[in-house]
Amino acid sequence: MHDDERVSDELEALQAILMEEIKINCDESGQAVGLETEIHPWTALDTETQYVRLTLEVTLPPGYPDVRPNVTLSNPRGLDDSLLTSLHKEIEEKCSQNLGQPVIYEIYEIIKERLTNSNRPSVPCCICLYGFRQADQFTKTDCYHYFHSHCLAGHLTASENIFKEEQDKLPPWQQTATFQALCPICRASINYDVETLRTADPPQELEEAPRTFQPTPELRVLQERMEALYLRQRSKGGIIQEDNKTLLLTEESNGESNANNR
């Protein structure tokens, strides 16, 4: 498997622990040059409560373990950039501390522990754009995307209504028999009972959001700048307005305003 006995022993141990979860990559001569494995949180055998994941890819350069391995964290799900940045830093430190010793399993354990401690989506729901609080009810799709159950119910209901409206416009021979729900992010097929999802409470952050819009001081400053820009452009005759489908070109610089159909 590898010329260096330290590396061969490490890879054999990893295969014994992870079994089919790990893939060893070899070159044409059969020499191990890297590996990859998908890592989930520790949840015993309950895979339904694994809400985050990522793929660990390790390339073994010539001279490993006396040379640091190349580590890539790919395909993250439910993890924000700050956590990934922190993971990269911790892995770099571990590689530096263990130079000269096999370190792949320790990298694996670092990631496994961090995913277990962060086993809740840290990305926002892409439907309402609010995050997930502790009391929120949310749904993880098979493609590892996350939505508040309440939000997903609304999205699926609206999608099915649009589907039916579009089908009604088609001749019978072109109509599709059934509606297939799709993930709002990756468009993979998903199947959920909308009535069950609809029983979930709305997101807590949505419930606490103010019901009336209050512009921030920053927005008011921007509004004042846009107003000044509008007045300046109007004074130069460069404003085009839409009024009942008619475009109006102003020529304030000549003291007149002419309407031109475009």
What gap in Å lies between CA 220 and CA 44, rounded to an integer?
53
What gap in Å lies between CA 103 and CA 69, rounded to an integer?
9
SS3 29: coil
Model confidence pLDDT, tens digit, residues 12-30: 999 999 998 999 999 988 8
Q: How confident is the model at residue 174 (pLDDT cuts 50, 70, 90)?
A: confident
Give residue 261's pLDDT. Answer: 45
Q: How confident is the model at residue 241 (pLDDT cuts 50, 70, 90)?
A: low
Per DSSP, 146 falls in state E
**At residue 107, does pLDDT exceed 90?**
yes
Domains and CATH numbers, the chain: 5-117 (3.10.110.10), 138-208 (3.30.40.10), 217-259 (no CATH)
What gap in Å lies between CA 111 and CA 90, rounded to an integer?
9
Burial class (CB in 10 A: 0-12, 13-18, 19+), 227: exposed
Residue 53, beta-bridge partner list: 77
What average pLDDT does the chain have?
A: 86
**At residue 96, does pLDDT exceed 50?**
yes
Residue tagged 């998903």 (tokens): 190
Residue tagged 């190349």 (tokens): 70
Q: What is the mean pLDDT of residues 134-149?
A: 89
Regarding pTM above 0.75, the answer is no
